[in-house]
Amino acid sequence: MIEEKIFNKINSKLYPMFKNLAFKLNAETAHELTLKSMHLLGPWVNNTPTDPRFKLEAMGLSFKGPIGLAAGLDKNATAINFLTYLPFSFVEVGTVTPLPQGGNPKPRLFRYIDEESLRNCMGFNNAGAETILKNIQNSDRREKILGVNLGKNKITPNDQAFNDYAILYEKFAPHCDYLVINVSSPNTPGLRDLLQDEGLRDIFKAVTEKRKKCHRPLLVKVSPDMNQQELSSVVNLVKEYELSGIIATNTTIMPERGAGGVSGKLLFEKARNTRMFLLEQLKETPAIELIGVGGFSSYEDCLDFWKMGGRLIQLYSAFVFQGPKILHDIEKKLADDMTKRNISSFDEFRDSL
Ligand SMILES: Cc1cc2nc3c(=O)[nH]c(=O)nc-3n(C[C@H](O)[C@H](O)[C@H](O)COP(=O)(O)O)c2cc1C
């Protein structure tokens, strides 16, 4: 009850005030300020209870609900204490690379406020595996699911990339619930070439070896700019190497807007098409999970994905533009819909759509 009151206050008063101030700043400065505030608030906030009807099992893990935070917001795992207080049932940190790296020159994060979209060309700026591992070890996850998103260093040539992913898997697997191979960011030169058959096979092979020693759910994150043939070849490799799932999608390139990758509402249609195609391809293998991300900005967008057969969803841009309110809206509407239909579990709800 008290948590609900605090949460309502954040939704109705604090976040709009904070956003007004933050949106006057340059986008990356605002992002850093937000993370610092989260870091400071982290230890002082209590868990937000989630409706027990939202629970679902996926990839051998028990999720408290279908909504999570996408990679890239908490790249260095400094805000887990705060983020797991919000009604995210899972939080993905990273992308982490073996060595720290500064990323691309600034400015590298841009807002399209009217279109609730962002464009970024960050380039995997992160504090590196050592520091991020320590941050994870020192955090309180509040029984939420923690994912770690893995990437290669810019200086690592593509034919050695498998090594970066294997090192990272070995380091982080004992300390998190699932891991993601990210080869779909448009901001590391040549990275997306690794989505092609041979590059990806080398990475899957190397990581599979490490996975024999410490088995964790493993996913690959794909790009919305891949054609159907490329997506099918990823699906085949996912099946061959027994990965646990696919995350669709990363940001999309829109050269008419400038360099980097676009996220938010401008990405929705493209990402939705990719998800629809993948869900069709994965129909016969329900154990392989498809986590949807890219352009979700309302409960109706989530319903659309659930109707298509998906379950877990990640948010990023909509969380930046709408704040925690979007989480509250989705939870409330989902709870109301379940009550109206007299349904007591998420899977039953999804099947009824
Ligand atoms: C500023 C920014 C940084 C991001 N960094 C990463 C990253 O490091 N790794 C990653 O896998 N995705 C990254 N993403 C992509 C998001 O995880 C997500 O796939 C994408 O933004 C689409 O979701 P959205 O439309 O809800 O924002 C980033 C996105 C943004 C906006």
Neighbouring C-beta atoms of residue 142, cutoff 10 Å: 16
Q: What is the pLDDT of residue 299?
A: 98
Q: How many domains does the chain have?
A: 1
Residues shown for the chain: 353
Higher confidence at residue 66 or residue 15? Answer: 66
- 121 has a pLDDT exceeding 70: yes
Question: Which ligand 1 atom is nearest residue 180's CA?
Answer: 11
Pocket test residue of 316, 317, 321, 330 for ligand 1, highest count of atoms within 8 A of CB: 316
What atom of ligand 1 comes closest to residue 221's alpha carbon?
11
Residue 65 has pLDDT above 90, yes or no: yes
Q: Is 239 exposed, middle or buried (0-12, 13-18, 19+ CB in 10 A)?
A: middle
Average pLDDT over residues 68-93: 94
What does the pLDDT read at residue 50?
84
CA of 339 relative to ligand 1 center, distance in Å: 33
Q: Whose CA is nearest to atom 18 of ligand 1?
A: 250
Pick 204 or 4 by higher pLDDT. Answer: 204
Q: Can you give the CATH number for the domain in which 303 is found?
A: 3.20.20.70
Furthest CA-CA distance within the chain: 55
How far is 274 from 278, CA to CA, in rounded Å? 6
Which of 74, 263, 301, 314 has most ligand 1 atoms within 8 Å of its beta carbon, as the pocket-test mutant? Answer: 263
- What CA–CA distance (Å, rounded) separates 35 from 326? 18
pLDDT at 194: 78
Question: How confident is the model over 291-323, as pLDDT tens digits?
Answer: 999 999 999 999 999 999 999 999 999 999 998
User: What pLDDT, on a 0 to 100 scale, did the predictor assign at position 21?
Assistant: 80
**Mean pLDDT of the 93-106 span:** 96
How much is the mean pLDDT over the chain? 91
Instruction: From the CA of 71, give the closest atom in ligand 1.
Output: 17
Task: Classify residue 303 as exposed, middle or buried by CB count within 10 Å of its CB (0-12, 13-18, 19+).
Answer: middle
What is the pLDDT, as a whole number, of residue 45? 66
d(CA 112, CA 149): 26
CB 248 within 8 A of CB 224: yes
Contact 81, 140 (CB under 8 A): yes
Q: Is-contact 49 289, C-beta < 8 A?
A: no
Which atom in ligand 1 lies closest to the alpha carbon of residue 297? Answer: 26
Percent of the chain with pLDDT over 90: 76
122 vs 104: CA distance, rounded Å = 6
The pLDDT tens digits of the residues spanning 247-261 come to 999 999 999 999 999
Model-level pTM? 0.95
Handedness of CA 151, 154, 160, 163 (dihedral sign): negative
Helix (H) or strand (E) holding 238: helix 228-240
Using a 6 Å CB cutoff, which residues line ligand 1?
Answer: 70-72, 75, 95, 109, 118, 120, 122, 124, 149, 182, 185, 221, 250-251, 263-264, 267, 293-296, 315-318
Q: How confident is the model at residue 15 (pLDDT cuts 50, 70, 90)?
A: confident
Summarised one tens digit per residue, pLDDT across range 17-63 is 778 787 888 888 988 888 888 777 766 666 666 899 999 999 999 99
| Domain span at 157 | 2-351
Find all residues with CB under 8 Å of 301, minimum gap 6, and list them.
268, 295
Tokens of 110: 């841009």
pLDDT value of residue 124 = 94
Give catalytic residues, as residue numbers: 185
Q: Is 170 exposed, middle or buried (0-12, 13-18, 19+ CB in 10 A)?
A: middle
Q: How far is the CA of 94 from the centre of ligand 1 (A)?
A: 10
Q: Which residue of 76, 223, 250, 298 sits with most ligand 1 atoms within 8 Å of its CB, as the best mutation to test the pocket?
A: 250
What count of Cα atoms within 13 Å lies in the side-chain half-sphere of residue 97? 21
**Closest among 266, 321, 329 to 298, alpha carbons compared:** 329
pLDDT at site 189: 76
Q: Which amino acid makes up residue 332?
A: K
Asked whether 86 and 66 are in contact (CB, 8 A), the reply is: no
Q: Which residues face 252 on adjacent strands?
A: 262
pLDDT in tens, 135-192: 999 998 888 999 999 999 999 999 999 999 999 999 999 999 999 999 887 777 777 7
For residues 145 and 68, what is the distance between their CA atoms, to the nearest angstrom? 9
Q: How does pLDDT run across 183-205, given as a tens digit for each residue?
A: 887 777 777 787 776 889 999 99
Residue nearest to atom 10 of ligand 1 (CA): 71
